[in-house]
Amino acid sequence: MKKLVADRMSLIDASGIRKVFALAGDLKDPVNFSIGQPDFDVPEPLKREAIKAIEAGFNRYSQTAGEKDLLERISAQITAEFGWKNPSVLVASGVSGGLLLAFMTLVNPGDEVIIPDPYFVMYKHLVNLLGGKCVFVDSYPDFRLPVEKIAAAITDKTKLIILNSPANPTGIVYSAAEVEALAKVAAKKDVLVLTDEIYETFSYDGPATSIAKYYENVLVMRGFSKSHAMTGWRLAYVAAPAALRPVLEEMLKIQQYTFVCAPTPFQKAAAAAMNYDVSDLVKGYVRKRDLLFNGLKSKFELAKPQGAFYAFVKAPSGTGNDFVKRAIQNNMLVIPGNVFSERDTHFRISFATTDEKIRQGVDILCRMA
């Protein structure tokens, strides 16, 4: 029988998160610290907007770039925030979809993509799938933005720097000074920055600073999945200054032949979400963060999460993978750190769960430590 699977598939591995679920298949009502989605539901007014759109017949394809009303609202917000005139915008099927479109448009075989480590798992595998080279820049132990190391890693082959703040898996929010310093490095070297800001609403100690405030050679990716609990609705957007319009036009071409468009009725709801205040929902996550951090800080080595809803915790002994297996034996799901890193020393906790489950989980972890 002829070989059926393309060679490129050997460059990526199955999700480590899926592997954890497989190991934990027999657990009964576990403390689930693995899921990266809010524990609240889509706000009722936004559900009604989606239902209204469905009932009104907005169930066909939208324009590839997105519904006009939503595009106009995004464009206005981006102009107000960054001062970009006539920004280029497209609506994507989640930030994950936007990442795929961007990497397929930008990365040639052999191109280097600079990624601070730890990192969101998708970056590595998409770059590898396209024949690019990941250049990981270590940010241990405190996970601050390693600006000097990034500057030293830039070569003639560097195509892209990836920025993710608030960050998955570490929960770190980069300071304005750190972000501005990276903007100066990128400007000096004329390197494109892709900033993944899916968690920008979840910033607990002050607003998260976007590099787009200091630098225009940048693709901004934001979405509604986390802020409005629309993870299953697959809605996000990519914005860029007018000078990068040719890049977004190429991304649109790929969208035509892949996703076609983001889900039309949910785009109608997303337009309403642009003006929907979720600050009270986010405040609940400050409490969850404090419950987790204050419960673990005397027993574990961890940086205090400043945003998103994750903590990246050093395993007290052995590897991160070993600790995850022990956690499963104690009826708990956490994710091994090597899913998100070139190291296997940590594990990731998602505190997007109930306060009671957080308390239970803290008790179990402290007993294990």
Final residue of a domain: which of 218, 252, 273?
A: 273
Confidence of residue 10 (pLDDT cuts 50, 70, 90): confident
26 and 107 part of one domain: no
Q: In what order do the strands lie in the sheet with 346-350?
A: 310-314, 346-350, 335-336
* Structural domain contains residue 329: yes
225 and 317 part of one domain: no
What pLDDT, on a 0 to 100 scale, did the predictor assign at position 23? 64
* Structural domain contains residue 54: no
326 and 214 part of one domain: no
* Structural domain contains residue 53: no
Final residue of a domain: which of 273, 306, 335?
A: 273
What pLDDT, on a 0 to 100 scale, did the predictor assign at position 2? 82
Angle, alpha carbons 331-336-341 (nearest 5°): 165
pLDDT per residue over 208-224, tens digit each?
A: 999 999 999 999 999 99
Count the Cβ atoms, other than its own, within 10 Å of residue 109: 8
Q: Please state, in angstroms and as integers, the Cα–Cα distance from residue 214 to each residue in 176, 178, 181, following that order.
A: 10, 11, 9
pLDDT of 17 higher than 80: no
111 and 193 part of one domain: yes
pLDDT per residue over 57-72, tens digit each?
A: 999 999 999 999 999 9
Sign of CA dihedral 65, 186, 304, 168: positive
What pLDDT, on a 0 to 100 scale, did the predictor assign at position 11? 82
CATH code of the domain covering residue 283: 3.90.1150.10
Q: Is the peptide bond before 109 cis (omega within 30 degrees of 0)?
A: no
pLDDT of 16 higher than 80: no
Give 280: exposed, middle or buried? Use CB within 10 Å, 0-12, 13-18, 19+.
Answer: exposed
Domain limits at 302?
7-42+278-368
Q: Taking a C-beta distance cutoff of 8 angstroms, is the pair 211, 179 a contact?
A: yes
**Model confidence, pTM:** 0.94
**Residue that the structure tokens 């570490």 belong to:** 170
Give 103: exposed, middle or buried? Use CB within 10 Å, 0-12, 13-18, 19+.
Answer: buried
pLDDT per residue over 300-329, tens digit each?
A: 999 999 999 999 999 998 899 999 999 999
pLDDT of 20 higher than 90: no
End-to-end CA distance of the chain: 51
Final residue of a domain: which of 220, 255, 273?
A: 273
What pLDDT, on a 0 to 100 scale, did the predictor assign at position 26? 73
Reading the block at residue 120, the tokens are: 């969101």
19 and 80 part of one domain: no
Q: For the chain, how many structural domains are there in total?
A: 2
CATH code of the domain covering residue 235: 3.40.640.10
pLDDT of 15 higher than 70: no
H or E segment and range at residue 147: helix 147-153
* Structural domain contains residue 55: no
What pLDDT, on a 0 to 100 scale, did the predictor assign at position 8? 86
65 and 160 part of one domain: yes
